[in-house]
Chains A and B, each alone.
Chain A
Amino acid sequence: MATSFSRLPDDRLAPYARAYDDANRKKRVQAILFLGIVAGLTLLSGAVAEVDLFKLFGNLGNFFSYFDRILTFDSGPMVGRRVWTDPSEWLWGLGKWLSLLGDTILIAYLGTMLGAIGAFLLCFSASTNLMPNAWLRGLVKRVFEFCRTVPEIVFALIFIIAFGLGPVPGVLAIAIHTMGALGKLFAEVVENIDMKPVEGCTATGAGFSDTIRFAVVPQVLSNFASYTLLRFEINVRGASVMGFVGAGGIGQDLIEAIRKFYYADVSALLLLIILTVVLIDLGTERLRHALISREERP
């Protein structure tokens, strides 16, 4: 099907063309200004962070050769061979490492559970629709903010001095951080609930705890569970480095292997950590989808 367009005469077209150019120019100036600001900040922070591109390019080969080295045996009967040619030699400490990985997951699990329990108990006092007392609400919100802004490793460093080396400070550090992060999310969920069941409970003369048990919890539980699962996934990652400061789990062995240049061990540990994290990612994703679909099917 042939269609023909009739072109406007030039004198009528000119204003449109000019307006188009004007609109474009304004956008372009804005974009250039924005890029200029970003470039300026980049140069400034590059200077502050001692970025040295020559060093990077000079040593970039090292980065790749590092991966080459950790994938090659550097001692024993298989010197110079790729690590996967002899899995039993590569994964020589599998039993120990798996038990450490189990500890890491347990640290994440306990930290997540304790944090989730804390967040659950406090989140109702932090939501606008259930807690009329603005002063108390603000206090709980500030506590959550503090707990999630201070990184968990910092808590772990402090707790190690109070509780001694080992997984206990790791669990508590993760728990505190999780409480802050989940508390905020939980409170937001509670603020978005349907208020009618709450009014119904109040009308029957129910107190604060009864209202929460029968009007709020049934509405929010699946959301809470989904956020907790997501947090568990994040915490497994966090627990894998708790050992860096002596707070238990597989991190201790990893930092030792990296610092002492046990190359083959580094790759074995990294592989195990990546596998664990990916498996837990997949598992929690499944569970969360199951939760969501159960929620949608009445």
Chain B
Amino acid sequence: MNRSPKLAVQDLHALKSRHAAVFAPSWATRSATIATVAVLAGLFVFGFWRLDFSFTKLVSGIGQLGVLIWLMIPPDPGSWARFVTFLGALAETVAIAFLGTLLAALIAFPIGFVAARNTTVNRIVRFASRRVLDGIRGIDTLIWALLWINVVGLGPFAGVLAIMTADIGTFGKLFSEAIEAADRKPVEGIVSTGGARLHQIRFGVLPQVLPVIAGQVLYFFESNTRSSTIIGIVGAGGIGLHLAEQIRTLEWQAVSFLVIMILITVAVIDAVSVRLRSAIIGRPQRAAA
């Protein structure tokens, strides 16, 4: 700005004297900002030191990474037989995501009503169900996969159960929030016609929350496709098993091929779920208009 001093800049002194309060530095905010930044930066530096970051390590690693990326080109599955195996594993991945999401939604549906303030049975049940959902959500899908492998053995079924369990926690929370956000008026309408508690939920709450819930389930189907690509790493089926194996055996061309397969699948499912979601959420709006 000092390249071309214009009117406002020439007038700066006058402006400053006229609006002293605006230009005066507020030491309280400034010191708070400086303190926050200092703490964040300090933690940052401490982290680098604690986790053994070193310049030479980074540089040599990035060099290595360049070599690996060079080795990945062109993507190549190796043979037709392997390509067919990969396709099968990819289908398994999508199936795991689909079943896991569907089962989680079915199980979380009643839990959502119990955990919502306006439809719950009583306070204690609501509190308990919330804490259980929090606990379930605190454990990552991969950990659930390891636990389920102990129960049903290695294979995609353990993956389905892992996705299901991890999502019950998230769905339960999201559903109960959707239910709590529902409009009271339709429920009051049902009460005024003499509807019982279940009628209130079925005809007052359900029609409002169903589109929201359907949208969330579709969204999670998409994000679960991503999670189910990796649960194979611990042996719970799907394409992750092949991906981990190809990385460990340093078959870089097959690795990049697998990554591209995953990217395409996720993009396709993303497109489909966006379509479906706008169809579901769009419908009641059109009816109202």
Contact = CB atoms under 8 A, between A and B. Distances in A.
B128 interface: no
Contacts of A258: 146-147, 150
Given A113-B40, A161-B64, A161-B247, A241 B142 contact: yes
Contacts of B102: 38, 42
Interface string B138-168: 1110110011101111011101110000000
Interface in B51-85: 51-53, 57-58, 61-62, 64-65, 68
B147 A204 contact: no
Interface size class on chain A is 35 or more
B108 interface: no
Given A106-B51, A168-B52, A204-B8, A48 B226 contact: no
B53 to A, nearest CB: 6
B182 interface: no
A294 B140 CA distance: 33
Nearest to A261: B150
A270 B262 CA distance: 30
Interface string B76-100: 0000000000000001101110110
Interface string B87-120: 0000110111011001000000000000000000
Interface string A273-296: 111011001000000000000000
Interface string A227-241: 000000000011011
Contact of A50 (B1, B143, B157, B267): B157
Contacts, number: 177
Interface size class on chain B is 35 or more
B135 interface: yes
Secondary structure call for the A interface: helix
Contacts of B47: 106, 109-110, 171
Contact of A48 (B48, B91, B230, B233): B91
B233 A153 contact: yes
Nearest to B88: A48
A282 to B, nearest CB: 10
B234 interface: yes
Contacts of B244: 157, 245
Query: Which of A52, A244, A248, A278: most chain B CB closer than 10 A?
Result: A244
A241 B230 CA distance: 12
Interface stretch (A1-9, A59-67, A72-80, A90-98): A59-67
B201 interface: no
Contacts of A109: 43-44, 47
Given A49-B92, A106-B46, A210-B1, 13 more contacts: A45-B99, A49-B159, A49-B160, A109-B43, A113-B40, A154-B247, A157-B248, A164-B57, A241-B142, A245-B233, A255-B146, A273-B143, A278-B134
6 contacts: A49-B160, A109-B43, A163-B61, A163-B64, A168-B52, A237-B140
